[in-house]
Chains A and B, each alone.
Chain A
């Protein structure tokens, strides 16, 4: 009985040990290497090739966002600047953009650099924070207001 109990406890300890090792490796290595997007500074530091598909993330620079319809039924053309405070990238593209995309808020764009150093986005993702608040009296929730 003692012997059996010993092997069982060994199994528990082995499984726990393996769990801790897997967890530590995953937590320490993944957090550094699994990069979802690059900031503009990182893009310039890594010298991303023209045409190479990357994700770029940062804040939409205040006053940089413009949206114009090409034709009544055609896709929209958008243009804005992604900044991380130190470096910035001018982003252009066509098509739908998320309703939460706002100046001063976070965004992640997927696409590649064109010859003129502008970033051609094939997909725009808006980032929002973890804060939820009721609107102040008389205010309309921003998501419902029409886009500038």
Chain B
């Protein structure tokens, strides 16, 4: 009756290795970020939080784009697996956005001099966080699976518009947050090659962590769906 066409056996065989790869890359990235990468000429060692803050930010964007794609997938095909992907990615996205804001705050105090200020990047990021918390709350408003998934999918499609707004908010006039370092408007990345390599390894580590969490959370959601259907 319900076909998920999710290659569950393959995923279950791959997942432990994904976890090991994520943990190993995370250790390598941490060592590179804390010991190998040079200090910054202006900020000193405090800039090293970049290797946490930036990957978390990018992964938040990715998580919410996945929510968007899965939402379109659900509305298009009504295959329950898409709803499972959407909720899994939204939860991880909220977690990463929360950590991304905390890491940014910890970076802001010693450099800007304040923990928080109502600056465009910070405001749009808070909106993104609150919107996806709202997305998760919206999912608890209905017990009817199909209705809940459709409502959530419509919201998941609309909310993704804040992702480019967050990214581009630093280009607005008279803002405080620095411009993008890697994806610059003109010219190459504005950091030393060893710093860029460290950032890329960190990004890879966080992506693997995201993939591991996502796969585990999707399995959990599919098990829930199955239990729900066997009960009714």
Q: Given contacts A31-B173, A131-B190, is CB(A125)–CB(B114) below 8 Å?
A: yes
Interface segment, A66-74, A86-94, A132-140? A132-140
Q: Which residues in B have their C-beta under 8 angstroms from that of A26?
A: 161-162, 165
- Asked if residues B190 and A132 are in contact (CB atoms below 8 Å), the reply is yes
The distance in angstroms between the C-alpha atoms of A27 and B42, with both chains bound, is: 32
Interface residues of chain A: helix, strand, loop or mixed (majority): mixed
Complex interface: chain B residues within 8 A of A20 (CB): 161
Which residues of A sit under 8 angstroms from B154, Cβ to Cβ? 11, 14-15
Interface residues of A in 27-64 (CB under 8 A from B): 27, 30-31, 34-39, 57
- By a CB distance below 8 angstroms, the chain B residues around A132 are 40, 43, 47, 50, 181, 190-192, 195
Q: How many A-B residue pairs have CB under 8 A?
A: 150
Give the distance in Å from the alpha carbon of A6 to the alpha carbon of B230 in the complex.
30
Contacts of B179 in A (CB 8 A): 129-130
* Minimum CB distance partner of A129 in chain B: B178
What number of B residues sit within 8 Å (CB to CB) of A? Answer: 52
What A residues does B72 contact at CB under 8 A?
12
Task: For the complex formed, measure the closest distance between the CB of A67 and the CB atoms of chain B, giving whole angstroms.
Answer: 14
Q: By the criterion CB–CB under 8 Å, are A133 and B191 in contact?
A: yes
> Within residues 1 to 33 of chain A, which ones have a CB less than 8 A from any CB in chain B?
8-9, 11-12, 14-16, 18-20, 22-23, 26-27, 30-31
Residue pairs across A and B with Cβ atoms less than 8 A apart, 22 shown, are A12-B157, A19-B157, A19-B158, A23-B164, A30-B120, A31-B173, A34-B172, A36-B118, A36-B175, A37-B176, A98-B111, A99-B113, A100-B111, A101-B113, A126-B113, A130-B184, A130-B190, A132-B190, A134-B39, A135-B40, A141-B40, A143-B44
Which A residues lie at the B interface, using CB under 8 A?
A: 8-9, 11-12, 14-16, 18-20, 22-23, 26-27, 30-31, 34-39, 57, 96-101, 108, 123-136, 139, 141-144
